[in-house]
Structure 1
Amino acid sequence: MAIHWLLILICCIGLHFSSTKYTPDWESLDSRPLPKWYDETKFGIFITWGVFAVPSFSSEWFWPHWKSKHPNHDIVNFMKRNYRPDFTYADFAADFTAEFFDPDEWADIFKASGAGYVVFTTKHGGGFPNWPSSHSFNWNAKSVGPNRDIVGDLAEAIRNRTDIKFGTYYCLSEWFNPLYLKDRNSNFTTTDFVKTKAMPDLYELVSKYKPEIVWADTVDNLGPASYWTSKEFLAWLYNESPVKDTVVTNDRWCQDCFCKHGGFKTCSDRFNPGVLQKFKWENCMTIDTHSWGYRRNSNIDAYLSVHDIISTFASTISCGGNMLMNVGPTKEGKIMPIFEERLRQFGQWLKVNGEGVYSTVPWSHQKDTVTKNIWYTKRKMESEGTVVYAFLLSWPTDALLNLGAPIPSQQTEVSMLGYPDKFIWKAGPGGQGIHVTIPIIPWNKLPCEWAWVLKLTHISN
C-alpha cells in the first residue's frame, strides 16, 4: 500500500512540473527553475569546430578578419602567399575533410576529463552547419567537406559511451549572409533571415538531436528579442520540446539579454567575477588563450597549464559558476595532443578532488581571509555536518597553514582528499580560524599534482 501511494505522489509531482506553462515574456521565462543537473556537474567542454579549421590561422574569426572593411593584414598576406587570387572562403569547405574524426575517441577523452556536459558548435558565424540542415542547401557538413552528420555522430557516441549531457552551440547571426545583412541594415524591421534560416535551424536542431543545452550566440550582439523571436522559441523549448523538462539555456538571445535573461548567465567570454553572484553563471574560457578554434600558428606559451586551469576552475565554482572549457579540433577531426593532455590531466585531478567539486555549493566565504590562493566550497553531510573544502592552489611553504575564514567546533576534523591521515590543527585566537599543521609528505606521496583540497568537517559557520 505504501508503494502504491508513493507512486501516486511521484506521478503527481511529475504532472505538476510538466503542467507549468511558460509564456513568451521574460518574467515568465526567467522564473523557470534551472534543472539541478547543470549546477551539480560544474564542468563542461566546449568544442569550436567548423570550416575555419581549414586555414587554422589567427582564429575562428578568420573570414571577417580577412574580408571586413578593415582587414587583418597578416591574414591578407597569408592568403596572397598561399592561395590563388580568386580563392573564396567557401572554397575552404572542400578541405574540411574530418577524415580522422572518431566520435568514440572524442567521447572517451571527454569522459576521462571528468566533464558533465559538452557543448558542440553546430553552426558558427560563417553559417556552415555541422549537420544536414534543411535550411542550408549545399553548405553543410553532409553536402560538402566531411560528407557526414557530425552533430548526430558525436551525439550518438557521447550518449552510448558516457553519461555526459550533450549540448549544442548555435550562432544566431552570420557575418556575410545577405539576408541577415539586409535585416540588420533595415534596423531589424525586416525578418527574412530569422524566419527562413536561424529559427528553422534551431527548431530542427532541438527536435532532431534533443540537446540538453541550447547555447545561443551572435556575431555582433545585435538584434532585439522581438527580431530573433527568442521568447517564443524559449517558451516552445520549455513547454513543448522533447527536452522541455531537462534543457538549460544561456543568456545570449538578443542584444539586451546578456547577463539578464535566459537560464544561466555567461555575460561575456571568460566571465569570472571573483565574487559570488546572485544568479547561476558560466565561465566560458579557452585552453588556447588567443583563440577558440584550432590554430596552426600557435605556440606553447598560448596554452594554459593544468595549474592555470585548476586555478580558474576553483575561483569559478567558489563563486557559484560552472566552467566551460574550450578545445578546437583540426580540420582532419583530431583533438591535438596538448588539448587531450590538459583534459586528461584535469580529469586525473578531479578523480581525487571531485568530492569538493561535484554537487557542492558556495560557502559563506569564497576566498580565505588570511592566506592567498585558497578558495572554498561546501556541502551538508548528515554525518559530518557542514563540510567545507579549501582549494590550495600552491603547497604551503610553512609548517603551519593559517585559514582565517572557518570557525571550528570541538568535532572539527581536517584532512586532505586522497590522503589517508588526519591533520593536526588548533583554533585561532578567539576561536576564529584554523591553524593546520602541515605534515612532511614526500612529493611522490601526495594524492595529486598541481593543487590540493583540504576537507574541514563540523565547521560552525
Structure 2
Amino acid sequence: MATYLVCFVLLFSFVNSLKYDPTWDSLDARPLPSWYDDAKLGIFIHWGVFSVPAFSSEWFWWQWKGKPMPAIVDYMQKNYRPDFTYADFAAMFTTEFFVPEEWAEMFQDSGAKYIVLVSKHHEGYTNWPSKYSFNWNSNATGPNRDLVGELAAAVRAKTQMKFGLYHSLFEWFNPRYLDDKESGFKKQDFVRTKTMPELYELVNAYKPEVIWSDGDWEAADAYWNSTNFLAWLYNESPVKDTVVTNDRWGSGCSCKHGGFYTCSDRYNPGKVQKHKWENAMTIDKYSWGYRRNARLEDYLTIEDLLTQFISTVSCGGNMLMNVGPTKYGKISPIYEERLRQMGQWLRVNGDGIYGTKPWVHQNDTVVKNVWYTMKKGATETDVYAILLEWPDNNLVKLGAPITSKDTTVSMLGYPEKVTWTAGAGGKGINIQIPPLSVETMPCEWAWTFKMTGLQN
C-alpha cells in the first residue's frame, strides 16, 4: 500500500509540475481536463446591451453603423430620435427581473453540466464592473449590478455545474482597436490596455472553468498575445488544473489550436474528429441574442435539438446550446420549455450520453436515424443505440451490432425485459419492444437501447 501511495504522490507531483511554454506546440500538448469530455451539454447565454433593441441579432450595432443594413437603419429612423446613439441603449438594459438563482436552477434542470455566459461581446460592454471599461459596464451604466459575479455565485451555490465565460477579443468601434488596425496591427495598444487586462481580471475575479474566446479573426494570435495568456492560464492561474479553452485565439487558429475546437458556429461534422470539439449552436435559428420579432417557427423544436445533440455526442463532441435572455433579465418561456424538455429526456437517457465515447460505428449500417455511443467499464463495454424515430411494429432491426452468447439488451427508462434475436448470419440484432402505452413509454422524442456483451 505504501508503494502505491508513493507512486501516486510522485505522479501527482509530476503532473502538477508540468509547465507550458507560450508556444502552440507546448500549449496544445496539455491534456484536456476530463470533466469537459464527460459533460456533453453546456448552456450558452448571449446577454448584453444588444438585448435592448432585440431586433435583428447581437450584431445590431454593426448592422446599424458598421455595415448598415437597410432594415436596421429604417427601424432606427422610425422609432428613435435623430441624435440617438447605441450607447443610449445601455440605460435601458435594466435587468430588474434577473434572479440568478432562477437561471441556475433552470440550467441545472436542462441536464447541462456547464454554462458559458457572455461577459463581453463585440460591442465592448462588460457584464461585470471592469476597471478597463470605464462607464461602459454593467455596474456603471444600466443594471448597476455585477451580472457575471451574481450568476457565478448562484451557479456555484445552487448547482454542480461548471461556470464559464465568453469574451470577445476585439470591439467594433473602440478607437484604440481601430488605431491598431490602421497600423496593420503593428501597434498593440488595445491588447495591452484592454483585451488582456480584462481577461486576467475575469480569471482572477471569477475563476471561470471555461474561457470561450471570440472576435479573433482580424488579427493573428501574436497581436492578441494569446499564447502568453494561455501559458499563464495553464501554469499559474487559479483555475490552471481544471480550465478548458476553445480555439479562437487569432486568425488561423480556429480548428487548429486550443483545448477544444469550435471551428465555426453550429459546427457539426457528422463524423468522429481527431480532436475534441464543440457544437456551439442556437435555439433561435437566426440569432444568438433575444429577438422581440422572432416567430414561433424560428425556434428549433425539441426534436431538432435532440437530433443535433445526439449526433454531436455520437461523433465525440459537446453541444453548447444558446439562449438569449431579455433586457429585463428573464429567459422567455420558449427557451425555458426547450431547456426543461432537454432535461426531461436526459433524466431517462443520460446513461447513454454522459461520460460516453464514440463507438466503432456512429450511424447504423441498416436503419436510418440511429446514433451510437459507448461506455467502457472494468469488465464490459456498454453500447447505446439511440433511435430518433419509433420503429414500425415495435421491432428494431439494427445492422451494426454483432451479438454473442453473453449479449443483453435493455431499454433505458423501461423496467421490463425486451427480447432480441441475432440477425441473419449472426450479424445485427432484432429487438422486439413490448407494446407501450402513453403511461409506460419511458420518454418522448428519442429512445435508447443499452447492449452489453457484443463482439464489436
2:423 alignment counterpart: 428
Give the Å deviation of 1:315: 0.3
Distance in 1 of aligned mates of 2:4 and 2:77: 71
1:316 alignment counterpart: 312
Identity of paired residues, percent?
Answer: 61
Distance in 2 of aligned mates of 1:399 and 1:326: 35
Give the Å deviation of 1:398: 3.2
Question: Any conservation in 2 of the 1:386–1:460 contact (CA below 8 Å)?
Answer: no
Distance in 2 of aligned mates of 1:270 and 1:277: 15
- Residues 49-68 of structure 1: CA distance to partner in whole angstroms, max 9, x if unpaired? 00000000010000000012
Aligned counterpart in structure 2 of residue 170 of structure 1, from 157, 160, 167: 167
Q: Which consecutive unaligned segments of at least 5 residues does structure 1 have?
A: none
Deviates more, 1:156-165 or 1:420-429: 420-429
1:66 aligns with 2:54: no
Distance in 2 of aligned mates of 1:222 and 1:154: 31
Letter of the 1:282 counterpart? E
Distance in 1 of aligned mates of 2:199 and 2:381: 43
Aligned counterpart in structure 1 of residue 405 of structure 2, from 389, 398, 410: 410
Give the Å deviation of 1:93: 0.2
1:37 aligns with 2:32: no
1:52 aligns with 2:50: yes
2:269 alignment counterpart: 273
2:219 alignment counterpart: 223
Letter of the 1:294 counterpart? Y
- Residues 183-224 of structure 1: CA distance to partner in whole angstroms, max 9, x if unpaired? 122221111111110011001100111000011000x61111
Q: How does 1:290-305 map to 2 (within 5 A)?
A: 290-305=286-301
1:257 alignment counterpart: 253
What's the secondary structure of 2:404's corresponding residue?
strand
Distance in 2 of aligned mates of 1:14 and 1:102: 40
Letter of the 1:126 counterpart? E
1:450 alignment counterpart: 445
1:79 aligns with 2:111: no
What's the secondary structure of 2:191's corresponding residue?
helix
Letter of the 1:67 counterpart? K
Q: How does 1:101-250 map to 2 (within 5 A)?
A: 101-218=98-215, 221-250=217-246
What's the secondary structure of 2:257's corresponding residue?
coil
Question: Any conservation in 2 of the 1:413–1:422 contact (CA below 8 Å)?
Answer: no
1:341 alignment counterpart: 337
2:392 alignment counterpart: 397
1:99 aligns with 2:96: yes
- Residue-pair matches, total: 456
- Residues 349-390 of structure 1: CA distance to partner in whole angstroms, max 9, x if unpaired? 10001100110100000000100000000012345x221101
Distance in 2 of aligned mates of 1:404 and 1:185: 59
Letter of the 1:47 counterpart? I
Distance in 2 of aligned mates of 1:51 and 1:417: 44
Give the Å deviation of 1:7: 4.8
- Residues 130-169 of structure 1: CA distance to partner in whole angstroms, max 9, x if unpaired? 0010101111000010101100010000000001000000
Distance in 1 of aligned mates of 2:10 and 2:218: 43
Distance in 2 of aligned mates of 1:13 and 1:184: 46
1:14 alignment counterpart: 12
Distance in 1 of aligned mates of 2:84 and 2:235: 46
Question: Any conservation in 2 of the 1:230–1:254 contact (CA below 8 Å)?
Answer: yes
Give the Å deviation of 1:415: 1.3
Q: Which consecutive unaligned segments of at least 5 residues does structure 2 have?
A: none
Q: TM-score, normalised by structure 2?
A: 0.98
Distance in 2 of aligned mates of 1:10 and 1:170: 37
- Residues 261-292 of structure 1: CA distance to partner in whole angstroms, max 9, x if unpaired? 01000000000000010010000000001100
- Residues 82-125 of structure 1: CA distance to partner in whole angstroms, max 9, x if unpaired? 11001000000000000001000000001111110000000000
